Amino acid sequence: MNTAAIYVRVSTDAQADNDRVSLPDQIRRCLDRALADGYEVAKPHIFSDTVSGTKDETDRPGFGALMASARARSFERVYVLALDRLSRDLIVGVRTLEEFEKLGLGFVSLQEAGVENPLVRNLLLTLASEERKKIVARTMNGKRIKRARGQFVSGTVPYGYRRADGLTLEPCPEEAPVLRRIYEDMIAGGRTAFLSAPLSGLLEGGVPVLVEGQVAGAIGVSGVKSDQDAQVAKAGVAAVVGG
The pLDDT value recorded for residue 207 is: 55
Query: Does residue 116 lie in a domain region?
Result: yes
Q: Are residues 7 and 103 in the same domain?
A: yes
pLDDT, residue 161, reads 76
Residues of the chain with pLDDT under 50: 196-205, 215, 243
Note whether 69 and 186 are same-domain residues. no
User: So what's the pLDDT on residue 123?
Assistant: 67
- Structure confidence at residue 177 (pLDDT): 78
Buried b (16+ CB within 10 A) or exposed e, 169-208: bebbeeebeebbeebeebbeeeeeeebbeeeeebeebbbb
67 and 105, same domain (yes or no): yes
Structural domain ending residue among the three candidates 91, 112, 145: 145
Q: Are residues 138 and 186 in the same domain?
A: no
Supply the pLDDT for residue 79: 96
Q: pTM higher than 0.95, yes or no? A: no
Query: Domain tally for the chain?
Result: 2
Residue 95 lies in a domain: yes
> In this structure, is residue 153 part of a structural domain?
no
Domain that holds residue 8: 2-145
Residues 22 and 88 in one domain: yes
Claim to verify: residue 9 and residue 89 sit in the same structural domain: yes
Whichever domain contains 118, its CATH number is: 3.40.50.1390
